[in-house]
Structure 1
Amino acid sequence: MTDDNKPKTPHRHLVWRLALTLIVPLALLAATEWGLRLAGMGHPTTFFVKHHDGTGYSPNAQFGWRYRCREMAWPFLMSSPKPANTLRLFVLGESAAYGTPDPTFSVSRQLEVMLRAQYPQARLEVFNTAMMGINSHVIRDIARECARHGADLLVVYMGNNELIGAYGVGAAAEGSTVGLSLPLIRASLWARGTRLGQATDRFLGKRDWLTPKDQDEAFFQKNRIHPDDPRREKVYKNFRANLHEVCRSGPKVLLSTVAVNLRDCPPLGSLHRRGLTAAEQARWEEAYRRGETNAERGNWSEAVRHYQIAAELDGQFADLQYRLGQAFEALGDLPRSRHHLSLACDYNAMPFGANSHINQIIRDIAQQQPPDRVRLVDAAELSLEPDLFWEHVHLTFRGNYRLARTLLPGVVALLEASLGPATGTIPSEDECAAALAYTRWDELKLTQPVVRLTARPPFTAQLDHARRQARAEAALAALAREFQQPTQQQQSLEIYHAALRRSPDDWMLRHNYAELLAALRRFEEAAAQMKLVADRFPRYTPFQWMWRAYLAAATETRVTELVKQGNELCRQGRFAEAAQIYRHALALAPQLHGLHNNLGGVLLRTGATNEAIAHLEEALKLSPDYVPALMNLGTAYAATRNDAAAIRLFRRALEREPGSRDAALKLAWVLATGCDPAQRNGAEAVRLAETLCQAPNGRTPGALDLLAAAYAETGRFDDAIRVATEAQEEAIRRGLLSQAAVIGERLQRYKNRQPYHAP
């Protein structure tokens, strides 16, 4: 028997079954994935996507979605391939590296200014690839992409978002670390990077993270994390692994420890140590209270003594360590002050920001790498410098300058061979401010969102929050008052003009200049500047919205000016000229119903009734219940002897505004004097006219004239004569001689027992 004729063994059957069990589902999944891609379903998940004109790459606005992050990277245009003899640097990190609250003054911008000033002969590109709301799991992927796009150096400033947020401690249930398993996290990220994963998310409705949620104080209190929570160690382990891979991504890497505001920003949350008994907590609270009392009196040594008694009972309470840090600073013992402030950061139960564990991991990883490929800069040393932080981690303009200045030697050391000799000097903070056009206006613009942020949880739970917030709001009010001065506004404009003369192609300068012009209500100029930015980044929707908003505001401002001119001409009786002005305004804003009404009203005055009707009808198409247009169109129809239409419109106006005296008067007039006998209703006209005359100060010449006409229509000529005589006398008394003459003509008809009807 040949081998081919031998019966197949059960073992071979099992292998085939297992193979089919795996291959068929995988083939179906692969086919579904490619089908979804071919159908254009889903979105790209890479950080870089082709620019709209194919000339290079820009950040993908939907990149963060894969990581449950709705934020976008700050836009830029990166040419492809990389120009020859060009050094390409990428700054990676979270919101602090991004430049929150304004990336146009970020560390990457200031570092670029310094490098260009010191090495003017070098061809440099510095890109800000940091994003808000991300952490090392995301930055690892961005670093890999940067390596594929010709990165010469990665500047890594990250560690603030590891413990809180996506893939932080809250990703696993308390008492478990399963949700923090690195293979599990990476597998889930891979799955969400597929079109099938995106379709599944959409089908299951798992995109609620795109909608911001209101996080009140109760939310933050509920989500506090104990200093000894074992999940913290798992997060640190993941951070170490991700950072190690960033260092091995290919380009040279400058690692930086992370500065946080140890001195001026108390912990966002505190928790007592586990196992603290009620009796111990009572003694702790008494010691802490005594420490507070002595601190308020300036008895710092006594304050320290009582705080230390509390610390022996429970030293994990973050606020206590912060108070000890303050007390030792007041005593001049700065090393011990720093020690306790650092412990306050480590024990923070709402750890938004890097702590000493994160920074030590950064130092350890840097030490393990070849020094010619990876270097360390210890920016954490900036943590106690004053005026560097807006709140807990985000840097002021000075803070970004100091960070860039700290990073600069490390950048130069890693790129020295390519940079060549330094032929320029490092710019000062003032020189950087001039280059980037950082003005008092920009300081005001950046301060506003920060003050709004710190007025909300979790900041409201901080020590001394009310006092600190009051100071911040007072400083903001002072900045706002200062900017109202014309000299300050002009100075800000001149700084931008100078910066744009030096760097006319800097789109970020134009972006900020547009915001300044808009703040000064120079919307037309603002729209022109923003149009240049929007055209450069047509896929970046915030810039498109800004340009359209400025354009709309410019149009509204111009239309408002034209309407004022037209109204003034109307007051002067120059109706033909007013009509021309309103036409200009309508050319800018044809959708404004009020403009159509204004033009229709003046056209009625000039006798262009048909054109007036067209504009008034358009006004009512745009706003069907707009009473002024109802009134004007009713008047126009009455003038063209269309009494039925006029009555219908006046009734609608009176329904919309039941107290409208003008609508009641015009309706009653057509009912009493209309040219169409079928539409006249003298009895209703009398009721309306009597109501008008009975109102306080209601016996005006016009109302009395109407009442007389209504009486005449119902055959009550004696009443008509009496009231018309009163109307004529009242008109003469008021100096309305022409009106008195017209009333006199009608009075003569009533004496002849004839009602008055419109000709």
Structure 2
Amino acid sequence: MSPEEFLMEASSTQMTGRSQRRRRIFRLLAMGMAIVPFVALELVLWGLDVADPSQADDPSSGFNRSGRLFEVDKRDGVYRTATARGLFFGDQEFLLEKPENGFRLFCLGGSTVRGRPYTTESSFTRWLGLELAERTQGREVEAVNCGGLSYASYRLGPIVSEVLAYQPDLVVVATGHNEFLEDRSYKNVKGRNAVIAWLEDQAMSLRTVTMCRRWMSQEDPDTPEKDSAEVEARLDQQSGYASYQRDQAWQDKVVAQYGRSLELMIEECRKAKVPLVLVRLGSNLRDCPPFKSQHRDGLSAEERTKWQAAMDLGARETAALRFEAALTAFRRAEELDDQHALVAWRLARTLDRL
């Protein structure tokens, strides 16, 4: 290669390198210019205090593990239930500065703790606070209700972590009724990939996104959110029952997760040296028939007809107060299908009356 050819090739290579760098810089500038309007809009909304994400409903239904249940109100010197969590929790508040003679406790759980179907004022948290105030004369008792409608142990974990930062003297956890409900109803949001969940949570913290959500749903920013009492339990919806099918593997998984959630709460409270009381919730199986029953696999059409006839006969005998005959009929139905929940309940009710 002659010196002239070498110089020309070197010059061409140098120009190619410069061209590539220019293209990369141009692309970065183009991306930056595309982002600038959104950044500017976000800053304007922030400056005008418009579309505050903390004042909007929580689209992740409490599965945003970075979201807090309580927010600071410096003007009144209290912590208050965050507006974004208002659909599920009642309005609660407690002092920013814990009194020297104060006794502060938090009760966590689902709708039972929340006070459903009544208000937080009639919940056991309220009565517990009144009783403690009576028995500990001279101490200022703060009993804070952290009961969330349809909340199960998985979503209570982050709340335990949060309340431990508020100098509690006692934490009470009463959970266990919503484990299967939560796992079925919120399967998609609960099973999100960690990276996707983080990105979605960050996006939902932007005022621009909040404004777009309001616009798309045609919400009026001045219209107050629905009261938490208006929130329907997922099982109350017509499609709720259809999602429940007999699945032993899934059942075992949910039970195991429930145990693990409780273990994590216990570990956190022990590390913080805060007493923890676990409440075993009552279940009135005696007076409450199953929400849903399902026939065993392999039950033929002929067997189902015989089963229905036995159940109908048992119901007629029960209405006539002939409980021995009713018991015989229900046992006949049990022989055909021993996995049907309603059969077991009818048998138990009949035996209870004998």
Q: Same fold (TM over 0.5)?
A: yes
- Cross-structure match for 1:236: 255
SS of 1:194's equivalent in the other structure is: helix
- Cross-structure match for 2:82: 60
Kept in 1: contact 2:295–2:337 (CA 8 A)? yes
Q: State how far apart, in whole Å, the 1-side matches of 2:169 and 2:136 are.
A: 16
- Cross-structure match for 2:163: 146
1:155-554 to 2 correspondences below 5 Å: 155-164=172-181, 167-172=182-187, 181=191, 184=192, 190-196=198-204, 203=212, 219-220=238-239, 223-228=242-247, 230-250=249-269, 251-331=274-354
Report the CA distance between 1:219 and its aligned residue.
2.1
- Cross-structure match for 2:53: 43
Report the CA distance between 1:108 and its aligned residue.
0.7
- Cross-structure match for 1:16: none
Report the CA distance between 1:207 and its aligned residue.
6.6
Report the CA distance between 1:46 and its aligned residue.
1.6
TM-score after normalising by structure 2? 0.69
- Cα gap change, 1:171/1:196 in structure 2, threshold over 3 Å: closer, same or farther? closer
Q: State how far apart, in whole Å, the 2-side matches of 1:46 and 1:170 are.
A: 22
Report the CA distance between 1:224 and its aligned residue.
4.7
Q: State how far apart, in whole Å, the 2-side matches of 1:316 and 1:137 are.
A: 29
Report the CA distance between 1:59 and its aligned residue.
0.9
- Cross-structure match for 2:98: 82
Q: State how far apart, in whole Å, the 2-side matches of 1:82 and 1:218 are.
A: 42
Q: State how far apart, in whole Å, the 2-side matches of 1:197 and 1:123 are.
A: 36
Q: Deviations over 1:587-635 (max 9, x none)?
A: xxxxxxxxxxxxxxxxxxxxxxxxxxxxxxxxxxxxxxxxxxxxxxxxx
Tell me: higher relative CO, structure 1 or 2? Use CA pairs within 8 A at least 6 residues apart: 2
1:624-643 to 2 correspondences below 5 Å: none
SS of 2:346's equivalent in the other structure is: helix
Q: State how far apart, in whole Å, the 2-side matches of 1:114 and 1:140 are.
A: 27
Q: Deviations over 1:627-657 (max 9, x none)?
A: xxxxxxxxxxxxxxxxxxxxxxxxxxxxxxx
SS of 1:169's equivalent in the other structure is: helix
Kept in 1: contact 2:99–2:140 (CA 8 A)? no
- Deviating above 6 A after TM superposition, structure 1's stretches of 4 or more consecutive aligned residues are 204-218
- Cα gap change, 1:228/1:143 in structure 2, threshold over 3 Å: closer, same or farther? same
Kept in 2: contact 1:135–1:162 (CA 8 A)? yes
Q: State how far apart, in whole Å, the 1-side matches of 2:96 and 2:82 are.
A: 16
Q: State how far apart, in whole Å, the 2-side matches of 1:123 and 1:256 are.
A: 24
- Cross-structure match for 1:352: none
More helix, by proportion: 1
- Cross-structure match for 1:709: none
- Cα gap change, 1:153/1:222 in structure 2, threshold over 3 Å: closer, same or farther? closer
Report the CA distance between 1:147 and its aligned residue.
0.5
1:548-697 to 2 correspondences below 5 Å: none
Kept in 1: contact 2:153–2:261 (CA 8 A)? yes
Report the CA distance between 1:91 and its aligned residue.
0.7
Q: State how far apart, in whole Å, the 1-side matches of 2:247 and 2:147 are.
A: 30
Kept in 1: contact 2:53–2:210 (CA 8 A)? no
Report the CA distance between 1:55 and its aligned residue.
0.8
Q: Which one-letter code corresponds to 1:53 in the other structure?
A: R
Kept in 2: contact 1:179–1:185 (CA 8 A)? no
Report the CA distance between 1:287 and its aligned residue.
2.0
Q: State how far apart, in whole Å, the 1-side matches of 2:201 and 2:339 are.
A: 41
- Where does the alignment leave 5 or more consecutive residues of structure 2 unmatched? 1-30, 55-66, 220-224
Whose Rg is larger?
1
Report the CA distance between 1:297 and its aligned residue.
2.2
SS of 2:171's equivalent in the other structure is: strand
- Cα gap change, 1:280/1:272 in structure 2, threshold over 3 Å: closer, same or farther? same
Q: State how far apart, in whole Å, the 1-side matches of 2:142 and 2:213 are.
A: 42
SS of 1:132's equivalent in the other structure is: coil
Q: State how far apart, in whole Å, the 1-side matches of 2:251 and 2:161 are.
A: 26
Q: Which one-letter code corresponds to 1:261 in the other structure?
A: N
Q: Deviations over 1:382-426 (max 9, x none)?
A: xxxxxxxxxxxxxxxxxxxxxxxxxxxxxxxxxxxxxxxxxxxxx
Q: Which one-letter code corresponds to 2:143 in the other structure?
A: V
Q: State how far apart, in whole Å, the 2-side matches of 1:264 and 1:86 are.
A: 42
Q: State how far apart, in whole Å, the 1-side matches of 2:199 and 2:85 are.
A: 14
Report the CA distance between 1:146 and its aligned residue.
0.6
More strand, by proportion: 2
Q: State how far apart, in whole Å, the 2-side matches of 1:311 and 1:83 are.
A: 61
Report the CA distance between 1:196 and its aligned residue.
4.6
Report the CA distance between 1:106 and its aligned residue.
0.8
Report the CA distance between 1:140 and its aligned residue.
1.6
Q: State how far apart, in whole Å, the 1-side matches of 2:292 and 2:266 are.
A: 33
Q: Percent identity?
A: 22
Q: State how far apart, in whole Å, the 2-side matches of 1:151 and 1:187 are.
A: 33
- Cα gap change, 1:188/1:150 in structure 2, threshold over 3 Å: closer, same or farther? farther
Kept in 2: contact 1:180–1:235 (CA 8 A)? no
Kept in 1: contact 2:106–2:163 (CA 8 A)? yes
Kept in 2: contact 1:93–1:135 (CA 8 A)? yes
Q: State how far apart, in whole Å, the 1-side matches of 2:83 and 2:338 are.
A: 45
Q: State how far apart, in whole Å, the 1-side matches of 2:237 and 2:175 are.
A: 28
TM-score after normalising by structure 1? 0.34
Q: State how far apart, in whole Å, the 2-side matches of 1:123 and 1:221 are.
A: 44
Aligned residues between the structures: 292
- Cα gap change, 1:140/1:222 in structure 2, threshold over 3 Å: closer, same or farther? closer
- Cα gap change, 1:53/1:180 in structure 2, threshold over 3 Å: closer, same or farther? closer
Kept in 1: contact 2:53–2:204 (CA 8 A)? no
Report the CA distance between 1:315 and its aligned residue.
2.4
- Cα gap change, 1:63/1:278 in structure 2, threshold over 3 Å: closer, same or farther? same
Report the CA distance between 1:213 and its aligned residue.
9.1
Kept in 2: contact 1:93–1:139 (CA 8 A)? yes
Q: Which one-letter code corresponds to 2:153 in the other structure?
A: S
Q: 1:110 aligns with which of 123, 127, 132?
A: 127
Kept in 2: contact 1:92–1:130 (CA 8 A)? yes
| Mean Cα deviation higher: 38-47 or 268-277 | 38-47
- Cα gap change, 1:217/1:134 in structure 2, threshold over 3 Å: closer, same or farther? closer
Q: State how far apart, in whole Å, the 2-side matches of 1:270 and 1:86 are.
A: 49
Q: State how far apart, in whole Å, the 1-side matches of 2:231 and 2:92 are.
A: 29
Report the CA distance between 1:169 and its aligned residue.
1.6
- Cross-structure match for 1:124: 141
Q: State how far apart, in whole Å, the 2-side matches of 1:248 and 1:207 are.
A: 42
Q: State how far apart, in whole Å, the 2-side matches of 1:157 and 1:147 are.
A: 17
Q: State how far apart, in whole Å, the 1-side matches of 2:259 and 2:93 are.
A: 32
- Cα gap change, 1:290/1:140 in structure 2, threshold over 3 Å: closer, same or farther? same
Report the CA distance between 1:54 and its aligned residue.
4.5
Q: State how far apart, in whole Å, the 1-side matches of 2:109 and 2:218 are.
A: 25
Q: State how far apart, in whole Å, the 1-side matches of 2:287 and 2:98 are.
A: 43
Q: State how far apart, in whole Å, the 2-side matches of 1:274 and 1:208 are.
A: 47
Report the CA distance between 1:185 and its aligned residue.
6.8
